[in-house]
A and B are shown apart, each in its own frame.
Chain A
Amino acid sequence: MNNDPLISPQALPFNELWYLLPLFIAICLVFGATRHENWSGILFHALQNARWIALFVLVVFGILYAVSWAV
């Protein structure tokens, strides 16, 4: 087994949720860019997507939180 001292068992220095933020931004921008040609349209669509994805995640979080609280 390679015991590389540079790589610790806790390889992610930040909470995993922080790593989802850049993905969230990239997905919204690329998705918006596949529907518009101009910057204003792309950003508008990206913000709309961001709002819907955030709402979806919050709803799922709320459901899971309620289930965990109830059980």
Chain B
Amino acid sequence: MSEARVAEAEENVLEIDLRRPGIAALCAWLVPGAGHIYQGRIVKGLLFAVCILGTYGAGFVIGKEKVVYAAWEPAKDHRRWQFMCQLGVGLAAFPAAIQGMRYRQDKPPLWNGFMAPPEPTHDLNTSDALSDWNLRLNSAFEMGTLYTVLAGLLNILAIYDAFYGPMVETLPQPRE
């Protein structure tokens, strides 16, 4: 490792007050950036909030509010694995989780179907909502899904940072 890299690594070995890391991680999950703001790391918190919530919001808008929903019913050949990643953004994905639970219990969706899973059908005479979304949104459905999934995954990095602090390069150990 060069001297510059060692100096950079030493510079990064900072004493950071993580306050209560568990609470900070929970806050970071619920609202991206909130855990860092709770710890007093305001600038990083705002950076995470803008990047992660911005990515999530952009994906949501690109996908015309259809791309975040929870559905896992193998019997109906209906598995939305992407939601596990989208759930990484916390509260912003909670409505979809609530709608997904209601869907599993065969209850009608709330909020005019906002974030509700599409109704699948195997009857050729009726319209399949998911196929309808894919047809109308075209590649915007995939792009919106990609944005929201990546936002959730990026927030996992932010949660790690809130809990453990920054991932600092380890300094080389002197040889004996």
Contact = CB atoms under 8 A, between A and B. Distances in A.
A16 B48 contact: no
A37 B154 contact: no
B143 A34 contact: no
Interface of B: 8, 11-12, 14, 16, 41, 43-44, 47-48, 51-52, 54-55, 58, 62, 64, 127, 132, 135-141, 143, 146-147, 150, 154, 157-158, 160-161, 166-169
A71 interface: no
Given A12-B138, A22-B55, A34 B161 contact: yes
15 contacts: A1-B132, A1-B135, A7-B137, A11-B136, A11-B139, A22-B55, A23-B55, A26-B150, A26-B154, A30-B51, A33-B44, A33-B48, A34-B161, A37-B14, A37-B44
Contacts of B47: 29-30, 33, 42
Given A4-B136, A10-B138, 13 more contacts: A1-B132, A2-B136, A9-B135, A12-B140, A19-B62, A22-B58, A23-B147, A30-B47, A34-B166, A35-B166, A37-B41, A39-B43, A41-B12
A9 B68 CA distance: 20
Contacts of B147: 19, 23
Contacts of A56: none
Interface string A24-36: 0011011101111
Contacts of A33: 44, 47-48, 51, 158, 161
B139 A12 contact: yes
Task: List the 9 shortest-distance A-B pairs measured between CB atoms, nearest first.
Answer: A11-B140, A26-B51, A11-B138, A34-B161, A30-B154, A1-B127, A7-B136, A34-B157, A11-B137
